[in-house]
Structure 1
Amino acid sequence: MDTAKARKHMVDSQVRPNDVTDSGLIKAMGRIPREDFVPSNRRSLAYVEKDVPLFEGRWLLKARDFSKLINEAHIHPGDLVLDVGCGYGYGCAVMAPLGSVVVGLEDNAEAVSQAQTSCTNLGLDNVAIVEGELAAGFADQGPYDVIVIAGGAEIIPEKLFDQLSPEGGRMVAILVDRGVGHAMLYTRHHDAIGERMLFECHPAGILPGFNRTAGFVF
């Protein structure tokens, strides 16, 4: 497979036509080798228009959904970014040229090591991949200007809102309710949280720790 050609086609057919206007994001997605961030037996799926399974409970979001989500986060050059459920680090690699520092959070030690290696091999010295519980975030490095939840979520843990910068921090996530998914933008201004629905999408699954607890049924 000609990956450079496939990457250009992905940008031209899945990213540009879908209201993605951030030129830095488009450039990064056209440069970062997406195939390096999926399992070796799934490299042929890296540029298809669907979520790619990485390991249990984790998927690489399709380019259309990922690019629209990051576009709406409006990452600025000085921003500190937290990528929750970063998998093998593709999102971190794409966002690295957009912000100041990107912290990738994973609960899988093997994925943490592989993600850090992949980003380092690309010369991205402003990316740090850390291991921890996804729903707990990573308060040690916060508050964050931007938090990206890289998968489906039925609930957004309060701890993540607490880790947003009180001066206009933004969080993007895909909220799933009874099987219907909507990308959401949350903004924090001191103690107030605003929210806005962005677009419909259908993630392949829910991140661990982001499931709604089932209530008691008679």
Structure 2
Amino acid sequence: MADFAAARLNMVESQVRPADVTDVRLHDAMRALARESFVVPAKAYLAYADIEVEYASGRSLLKPRDLAKLMQAVRPMPGERALAIAAPYAAALLEHLGLSVIRLDDGDLSQPPAGSYDVIVCEGAVGRAPGAWTAALALRGRLGVIERDGPVGKACVYVRAEDGVGRREVFDATPPVLEGFAAEHGFAFE
């Protein structure tokens, strides 16, 4: 039987901390939550590996490093309202950090439940963040998502300000693209 407690500690010490994730709240949450419980039992042994692990058909948990960096970039704070899109492990981390979390796992993932959110996180890559996601951000709300149009994606943080929504790229990542969210390529004159 695997020693998952040791694997959790090793994941934080060998994958998360060396990736410049300095938020000790994230370290503590990742050490506490049983990541193996978010994947099918047959793949539990992969839960702490430096890979994306499939948890349902066409859906994967982000690599521990990538999720930790994305979470740190959106700066979740206790008491905030969060939306976790195809992100069961991220949802549990946000709850552990004291946020109120709405989970969007089924149906049309491009349409968030009504309301505004301080933090939105998605654990799968998308070609480009849907406008409905950025529209659901509260003032000073942050969306963390990996946009991928090719072999390497970019983890992006969108922030709603009084004058609109800004976007910045924070690191490279290569998770699988969520079904239905591939980049749309059209014809363009040059």
TM more than 0.5: yes
Distance of 2:159 and 2:76 partners within structure 1: 13
Identity %: 41
Contact residue 172 and residue 185 of structure 1 kept, 8 A: yes
Corresponding letter in the other structure for 1:164: L
Q: For residue 103 of structure 1, report the CA deviation from its aligned partner.
A: 1.1
Partner residue in 2 for 1:59: 60
- Of 100, 121, 129 in structure 2, the residue corresponding to residue 156 of structure 1 is 129
Distance of 2:58 and 2:111 partners within structure 1: 17
Distance of 1:17 and 1:37 partners within structure 2: 24
Partner residue in 1 for 2:75: 74
Partner residue in 2 for 1:17: 18
Corresponding letter in the other structure for 1:91: A
Contact residue 85 and residue 105 of structure 2 kept, 8 A: yes
Q: For residue 209 of structure 1, report the CA deviation from its aligned partner.
A: 3.2
Distance of 1:99 and 1:209 partners within structure 2: 31
Distance of 1:213 and 1:202 partners within structure 2: 18
Q: For residue 216 of structure 1, report the CA deviation from its aligned partner.
A: 5.8
Q: For residue 179 of structure 1, report the CA deviation from its aligned partner.
A: 2.1
- Of 160, 163, 170 in structure 2, the residue corresponding to residue 198 of structure 1 is 170
Corresponding letter in the other structure for 1:102: V
Contact residue 81 and residue 99 of structure 1 kept, 8 A: no
Distance of 2:161 and 2:80 partners within structure 1: 16
Runs of 4+ in 1 over 3 A off after TM superposition: none
Whether 1:98 aligns to 2:70 is no
Secondary structure of the residue that 1:17 maps to in structure 2? helix
Q: For residue 6 of structure 1, report the CA deviation from its aligned partner.
A: 0.7
TM norm structure 1:
0.82
Residue ranges of structure 1 left out of the alignment (5+ in a row)? 108-131
Any residues of structure 2 matched to 1:1-218 within 5 Å, and which? 1-86=2-87, 89-107=88-106, 132-139=107-114, 142-165=115-138, 167-203=139-175, 205-215=176-186
Residue ranges of structure 2 left out of the alignment (5+ in a row)? none
